[in-house]
């Protein structure tokens, strides 16, 4: 188990955000670009740090640290989802339910998200490990470093993980870029 050194300043949260009806669209290039741009726009107005993140085909997990005294993650997620939905509305058409029509939402995201406030350093470490192991858990790759849509390799570069952490022992001979 790695031991991370970081200050828990501000409020830190773990999130799970899921696509509407679990459509496997989040790893598509247009969606990744739209999500990256949306996060950038929202961070410009409402700052937050992304401590760790993984993008899966139908959901994402991330940990954010908000500035001291700021707990308005809902507004941030609302704006991110809105930007992505607006940008990608024609690329991912879907039958819109009566509920989506009533709430004026696109059929890209589930309306809600799951959040958990990080309690301490140990809780943060467990959630970071969960995030980075998620592609292996779901069977997309045999080792965490092989999944291109996560912050795992940033953690390796910063010395927080060994390259083969969270991998299948059969992958021990594989090289890391």
Residues assigned a catalytic role: 149
CB 33 within 8 A of CB 72: no
Could you tell me the two tokens for 135? 């592609």
Furthest CA-CA distance within the chain = 54
Distance CA 64, CA 13 (A): 5
Q: Are the CB atoms for 141 and 133 separated by under 8 Å? A: no
The owner of tokens 């970071």 is 128
């Amino acid at each position: 188990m790695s031991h991370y050194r970081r200050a828990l300043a501000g409020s830190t949260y773990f999130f799970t955000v899921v696509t509407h009806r679990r459509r496997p669209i989040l790893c598509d290039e247009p969606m990744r670009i739209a999500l990256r741009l949306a996060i950038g726009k929202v961070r410009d107005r409402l700052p937050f740090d992304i401590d760790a993140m993984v993008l899966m085909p139908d959901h994402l997990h991330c940990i954010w640290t908000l500035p001291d005294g700021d707990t308005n993650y809902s507004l941030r997620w609302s704006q991110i989802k809105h930007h992505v939905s607006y940008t990608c509305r024609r690329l991912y058409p879907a039958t819109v339910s009566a509920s989506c029509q009533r709430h004026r939402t696109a059929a890209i995201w589930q309306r809600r998200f799951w959040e958990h406030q990080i309690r301490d350093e140990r809780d943060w470490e467990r959630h970071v490990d969960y995030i980075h192991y998620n592609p292996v858990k779901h069977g997309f790759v045999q080792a965490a470093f092989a999944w291109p849509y996560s912050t795992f390799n940033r953690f390796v570069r910063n010395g927080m993980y060994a390259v083969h952490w969270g991998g299948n022992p059969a992958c021990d001979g594989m090289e890391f870029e």
